[in-house]
Amino acid sequence: MEVRDDSSRLRGLRIVHLIETDAPGGAERMLVHMITELEAAGCHNVVVLPRGGEGWISGQLAGTGATTEYFELDRPVSPDCARWLVSLFRRQRIAIAHSHEFMMAVYGAWAAWRAGVPHVVTMHGGRYYAGRLRRRLALRAAVAMSGRLVAVSQPLVSQLSHDLWIRPTRITTIANGVRFTPAVRSTLRGELALSDADHLVVAVGNLYPVKGHTHLLEALAQLASTYPQLHVAIAGRGELAGALKRQAADSGLAARVHFLGLRQDIANILAAADVFVLPSLSEGLPLALLEAMFAARPIVATAVGDVPVALAGGAAGQLVPPGDPTALARAIDRLLAQPFEAQQLGHRAQVRATAEYGIERTVQRYAALYERLLANGADARA
């Protein structure tokens, strides 16, 4: 593969990745893709996860060669955890430390500074740090101690620049990427007892307010009479599951809304979709969107984060304002009513994804960043 050839100069590099959660989400899935590729390129990766987590990341990385270590936080600010990380970096002879999201950015930056290891921070879009001045100051200090701050989208660069009082030029944008093999056929329609005449709209994302699923259900209610055989399937789990089920029932649509829960067979789910919808209120660059693009699905998505960039300003998918169920309904209606246009849109999305959003391209850019940081200091290879 191209990325493995280009990153061969990093063969033998020992990298530690730190992340504060161990449940299936966008940042976690991106991390799994990265580590898998880096292992295949000849790097050795250590992933630091919270003790007592779900074990999702370690399960996904089984057999790749990556090593798992577990941190414990006995209090919100834990000197013991920070000292343990310093010891880990030294014991594992780490060359590069790479932290993901706020909490581990702070701990990882301090530990890397003490251990004399170059440090990279990637922010994937979560801004829960932004509401408290103390957290913003902590992240700003972590960035100051780090070799580079990376954001997954250009709008996130602007947010971080504003939140942390730093120049945008100090932030590197590296877009997410995925390794995706589209399914030839899907079993989902049979699972849901749908006929060939039924229309199926699919959304993939955890059931949190920011994902905007309530607006998708409102759009379905507006389309229900025009498309009496229209169904919606949502893959994901989360705190709004009960509320969304009640919303579907109150609209008389319970039989036409299917909550799939946490699924690993995303290619299978996407292959069943007539239309993929991303109704999010905020995003960086969501992996679910990229997977739908690779699967050549006709897409309706809200114009948030780098979604408009991924969809080429609307040339590779329908863009609608966030929080606008009427606009969602109109865009879905257009694609259902014009299947040839929908097919062409899906094809353009697939072509763009193949050219721009493969995991190889993403890892290539991180490998180049690692090399630049190592060139500025000691090369701590195995």
Q: Which domains does the chain have, with CATH numbers?
A: 2-178+359-375 (3.40.50.2000), 188-356 (3.40.50.2000)
Q: What is the pLDDT of residue 377?
A: 66
DSSP 207: S
Q: Which two tokens stand for residue 50?
A: 């919270």
Q: Give burial (CB, 10 Å; 0-12/13-18/19+) of 183.
A: middle
* Type of residue numbered 207: L
Q: What's the CA gap between 96 and 16, in Å, rounded?
A: 6
Q: What is the pTM of this model?
A: 0.88
Instruction: Name the one residue in this structure whose structure tokens are 């893709």.
Output: 33
pLDDT at 9: 66
User: Which residues are registered as beta bridge partners of 120?
Assistant: 98, 148
Q: Which two tokens stand for residue 292?
A: 């739908």
CB within 8 Å of 168: residues ≥ 6 apart: 157, 158, 161
Smallest CA-to-CA distance from 219 within 73, 335, 359, 134 is with 335
Strand runs (DSSP E) across 88-228, as ranges?
A: 96-100, 119-123, 148-151, 171-173, 199-204
Greatest Cα pair distance, the chain, in angstroms, is 67
**Residues counted in the chain:** 382
Burial 10-46 (b: 16+ CB within 10 A, else e): beebbbbbbbbbbebbbbbbbbbbbbbbbbebebbbb
Residue of 119, 68, 78, 128 lying closest to 95 (CA atoms)? 119
Structural contact between residues 85 and 113, judged by C-beta atoms closer than 8 angstroms: no
pLDDT in tens, the chain (382 residues): 344 445 556 789 999 999 999 988 889 999 999 999 999 999 999 999 999 889 999 999 999 999 999 999 877 789 999 999 999 999 999 999 999 999 999 999 999 999 999 999 999 987 777 788 999 999 999 999 999 999 999 999 999 999 999 999 999 999 999 988 888 889 999 999 999 999 999 999 999 999 999 999 999 999 999 999 999 999 999 999 999 999 999 999 999 999 999 998 999 999 999 999 999 999 989 999 999 999 999 999 999 999 999 999 999 999 999 999 999 999 999 999 999 999 999 999 999 999 999 999 999 999 999 999 998 864 333 3
Contact predicate 86/115, CB 8 Å: yes
Q: What pLDDT score does 76 carry?
A: 77
Give me the DSSP letters along 116-153. T--EEEEE-S--GGGG-HHHHHHHHHHHHTSSEEEESS
**Conformation bin of residue 212: beta by default, left when phi > 0, alpha when psi is -120 to 50:** left
Measured between alpha carbons, how far is 380 from 382 in angstroms, rounded to an integer? 7
195: closest CA among 234, 229, 227, 232? 229
State residue 376's pLDDT score. 83
pLDDT value, residue 96: 97
